[in-house]
Amino acid sequence: MSKVLKIDFIELASKVMLGQHPAAPQKNAFDLDYVGVKSSQFSFARLQEADPMLGVDMSSTGEVGCLGEDLNEALLKSILSVGYTIPGKNILLSTGDALQKADLLNASRLLAQNGYRLYATAGTYRYFVENGIPCTRALWPSECKDAELIGKNPEALSLIRDKKVDMVINIPKNFTHSELTNGYMIRRAAVDFNIPLFTNARLATAFIRSVTSMSIDDIQIKSWDEY
């Protein structure tokens, strides 16, 4: 917030602790004509076998704050700055429970409308088909033992390991053993094979809106002082 508002809060705090009485800042984030977004960077790739899921504890090993003309540009800058890439044409989705599926519906439709090929696990596949979104079913690891399914649909893990998808969205649905096991294997494979992974529906939606509304060539390169 200090960088976005261009107010030195450390200096203000120091003056207060010294008994001085600095004037209260008058700037308001709603008055700015630019947006600031901070993205966290994680080290799951260095933590072998760890489940790349976020909890209530601070798990990041670094953060990058970026400014942009609007939310889409600022968000795209910050996510690219922590090592993510703009997906090519294939995306694997497993979108959680009913509420989370609904949250991601419009974003998933945006992907399809912009030429992305969607692979979806069973529940998400059915939901997309019911709502007119073209997609291909991808098998959970636990489904790969079913003789009737093998060969008819691609396996989710194989799509990741063979680098046939450029992004994975995996939203945990519940805490059942099968859900935790399947989800963990998908998430861990995405990290191990360096495929961008999103496990939060709101962040995934915001990122999709950014990549479908502007290209990397639209990003403006400006110094901090130019904003």
Instruction: Give pLDDT, residue 144.
Output: 75
Secondary structure in 3-state letters for the chain: CHHHHCCCHHHHHHHHHCCCCCCCCCCCHHHCCCEEEEEEECCHHHCCCCCCCCCCCCCCCEEEEEEECCHHHHHHHHHHHCCCCCCCCEEEEECCCHHHHHHHHHHHHHHHHCCCEEEECHHHHHHHHHCCCCCEECECHHHHHCCCCECCECEHHHHHHCCCCCEEEECCCCCCHHHHHHHHHHHHHHHHCCCCEECCHHHHHHHHHHHHHCCHHHCCCCCHHHC
Average pLDDT in the chain? 84
Residue 60: pLDDT over 60: no
**pLDDT (mean) for 17-37:** 79
For the segment 186-201, what is each residue's pLDDT rounded down to a tens digit? 999 999 999 999 998 9
Any idea which residue has 């947006």 for tokens?
Answer: 35
Instruction: Give pLDDT, residue 43.
Output: 63
Lowest mean pLDDT of 36-45, 150-159, 184-193, name the range.
Answer: 36-45
Lowest mean pLDDT of 39-53, 74-88, 150-164, 201-215, name the range.
Answer: 39-53
Residue 146: pLDDT over 80: no
pTM of the model: 0.79
Confidence band, pLDDT 50/70/90 cuts, at residue 9: confident
What percentage of the chain exceeds 90 in pLDDT?
Answer: 44
Contact between residue 187 and residue 171 where contact means Cβ atoms under 8 Å apart? no
